[in-house]
Amino acid sequence: MSLTIYEVVSLLSAVIAVLMLGSKSLPLQVSLFSVQIWLITGETVFFAYQYNHWEFYGVALILFLQRAVFVPLFLERILREIHVSRDPGMILPAPLTMHLSILFFGLSFFVAQNFPAPGPGGIVVATATASISHLFSGIVMMLTRRLALSQIIGFLTIENGVYLFALTQTNGLPVLIEMAVLFDILGAVMIGGVLVFGIKRSFEHIDVSQLKDLKH
Amino acid sequence: MYAIKDARLAGTFVVLGAWIQLLSLICVTFPLFTFGAKTIFVCADFFLTPFDAAFVVLTSAVAACAFTHGHIFFEGELVGSDPPTSANVRVNYACAMFFVLAMYGVYFCKNLGYLWVCVESTTLLSAPLVYFSRTRHALEATWKYLIICSVGISFALLGTLFIFASAQHGAVSGGTLRVTELIEAASKLDPKLLRFGFIFCFLGYGTKCGMFPLHSWLPDAHSEAPAPSSALLSGSLLNCALFAIFQIGQIVSASGNRLSSEFTLWSGTVTVIAASLFLIRQHALKRLFAYSSIENVGVMLVAIGLNSGWLFFLQALNHSIAKVSLFLLSGNIVQATGSKSLSDQSGLMASAPVWAVLLALSVFAGTGAPPFGTFLSEWLILMRAADLHYYVNVVLLIIGVSLSFIAVCMHVGKVIFGTRNPHLQCFRPLASSAIPALLVVCSLFLGLALGPLMWPLMWGSSSDPRGNNVTWRLDGENWQ
């Protein structure tokens, strides 16, 4: 099966998301997240060019500035301030979570084959695989990592999967809604960042698995 | 509000603003209820029907009551032993006002994309309310709330995309997210994508409304937030998430698929049973009422599953009134005793008899005892479920509601009676009883006076979840 550049870029982004799970180093995870966004931005620009949706150049620009520039700088600043650089993992060690994510990548391929083709084009399986794999990678990261910052990165990876799904399977949501969604997610990240500082100050760590004082 | 440096002055402006807002909304929406106007139209993506307007007015009323009581509550906090900073209080007021605005947006939006944006905004704007006290427990509760609800809402966005994709496949050229267009073209929507869309949206918005088993954030957030914020969260935020589920359920039902009705009905029933079991063993007053909110969410889900919007609204109205009263009173008690634990709160009747009587009446109102309005709404929901032959659900709901009534009364009974707590120091007991007293009277009025008047509104022609046309007469006899 031959792949177009469109599909290769989306699959590469999903592979980067899987690779991210194999690392215990938080700065590396932030860098790999940034690379994901570069690829997704490139996908958006390609989509805008191919289907003459000029407004998506604006979406690509906002996405790039927010998630490839602002969010990594914000997360790196948090890492410098709280002096944390490694996440040892929780239920599974980091390398095993990467292997689990690879399995889910394969599962995504089988799930993607059930989707009907979008209107123009007909590119479905590869890009749907990539977007579903992003979702699974983000979920695995949120479930298997201890540190609050890893959970934020996992959440953003899920959002990348949802965005990629919107772009490739539905030819993009209306632009105003896309912009509003991007700013909402940015707000969530910023509030999450403020809470991470608060957790570090109050608990002397950012291990969310230790936050269990409130009982049923 | 944040620009006003004096927290008390900011509170005064907030209270005035909230009541002016409520009166303005009643004036603006009045034609929808009386003069036969069908909508208040802003654009194709934003308009109000009478049903939406009812929720907007309810939200505004809850906000007005919460802000009014909050003014007295925060005055008490500022003179207490561990006062919050003035900045904390002002940030709380500012975020609460934007939070209420976002909730209005949920009812105005007739576009699933903007609806999602508004629901996510309510999460972001209410997180600072939960984090008010800046304690470790508040931090833990806020983190759980933000992460669980944000991930849940991400799934709701995925569900929205599936619904958009289902519209693109032959139903509407280019696809649409407008609710009216989706309902009109419902029979042409791709069924597989629509099913995926409903399931993900239900999971996402269900997380936001505290449906079992996605409820773990709710007791923590509602108990750690200050009492007026808890009242807002329980009395209006849950209604927003349920409203989103209702909107999407309407689209799926219009396509002829019974998945949304059956799924919602059973989820509601399971939520009621689970919450009633959790209520048996509780140790903190506000957590007790938070689990009671989960139980009422289950009842509202049952109403949505029975395809009755007005029964859903009636239950939401009665629950909001009772629950706001309960949380405001629990805030008074926690403030007076300095403890959230049930074991530290006893002998309220001896120390603060007005609060004790209001608490008892509010508990009866909140748990569905007659003659309060909640009894009427729950009774009507059970009647409708029985007439549509969902007997198993009716039996389970009766068991769940009865169990929760017994559990809540048992715990609150220990608070009201027993040895007097010598450390209890009431702050402005009469002023802090005014809003709960008003709400108890409203609940009583809804139960006694409005019952017969509500029946024609609820029982017009409708179709049951099985697609049969059902017409009801005033005397309750049903025709087909």
**Predicted ipTM of the assembly:** 0.90
Whole-prediction pTM value? 0.90
Query: How would DSSP label each residue in A64-128?
Result: IIIIIIIHHHHHHHHHHHHT--B---SSS-HHHHHHHHHHHHHHHHHHHTTSPPPSSS---HHHH
For residue A215, being part of any structural domain is answered with no
Of A142, A173, A211, the CB nearest to B143: A211
* B440 inside domain: yes
Alpha carbons A89 and A143: distance in angstroms, whole number = 9
| Position B332 in a domain | yes
Q: What part of B 147-166 touches A (C-beta under 8 Å)?
A: 147, 150-151, 154, 157-158, 161, 164-165
Tokens standing for residue B289: 């009422």
Confidence of residue A48 (pLDDT cuts 50, 70, 90): confident
| B276 located within any domain | yes
Collapsing DSSP to helix, strand or coil, B462 comes out as strand
Give the integer Cα–Cα distance in Å for B290 and A171.
42
Is residue A92 one of the residues assigned to a domain? yes
* Number of neighbours of residue A177 by Cβ within 10 angstroms: 23
Amino acid A112: pLDDT: 84
Residue B317, chain A, CB below 8 Å: the answer is no
pLDDT for residue A95 is more than 70 = yes
Say if A113 falls within a structural domain.
yes
CB contact under 8 A, A148 and B143: yes
Token readout for A197 is: 């500082």
Top residue of A168, A178, A191 to mutate, by most chain B CBs within 10 Å, is: A191
Chains A, B: CB contacts under 8 A, how many? Answer: 110
Nearest to B147 among A155, A173, A198 (CB): A155
- For residue B478, the model assigns a pLDDT of 37
Residue B253 within a domain = no
Asked whether residue A121 carries a pLDDT value surpassing 70, the answer given is no
B44 within domain boundaries: no
CA distances from B74 to B11, B77, B87, B114, B348 (A): 9, 5, 12, 34, 22
Identify which of B125, B114, B237 has the alpha carbon closest to the alpha carbon of residue A188.
B125
Residue A157 counted as domain residue: yes
Chain A residues touching B148 at Cβ < 8 A: none
Q: Which of the pair, A70 or B34, is modelled with greater confidence?
A: A70
DSSP3 helix / strand / coil % (chain A, rounded to 5): 75, 0, 20
pLDDT class of A205 with cuts at 50, 70, 90? low
The partner residues of B43 in beta bridges, in order of sequence, read: B46
Say whether residue B176 is in contact with chain A using an 8 A CB cutoff.
no
Confidence of residue A24 (pLDDT cuts 50, 70, 90): confident
Q: Could you tell me if A204 lies within 8 Å of chain B, comparing CB atoms? A: no
CB B289 within 8 A of CB B234: yes
- HSE-CB for B395 with a 13 A CA cutoff: 4
Question: Is A209 an 8 Å CB contact of chain B?
Answer: no
Host domain of residue A146: 5-210
Contacts of B220 in chain A (CB under 8 A): 214
Per the CB < 8 A criterion, the answer to whether A130 and A109 are in contact is no
Whether B224 and chain A come into contact, CB under 8 Å, resolves to yes
Q: What residue numbers bound the domain in which B274 lies?
A: 258-480
- Is A216 within a domain? no
CA angle B247/B124/B204 to nearest 5° reads 40
Domain count, chain B: 1
Any B CB within 8 A of A116 CB: yes
pLDDT at B475: 33
Domain presence at residue B183: no
Burial class (CB in 10 A: 0-12, 13-18, 19+), B162: buried
Q: Is residue B347 part of a domain?
A: yes
Query: Does the beta-carbon distance from A169 to B165 stay under 8 Å?
Result: yes
Chain segment B95-120, per-residue pLDDT in tens: 999 999 999 999 999 999 999 999 99
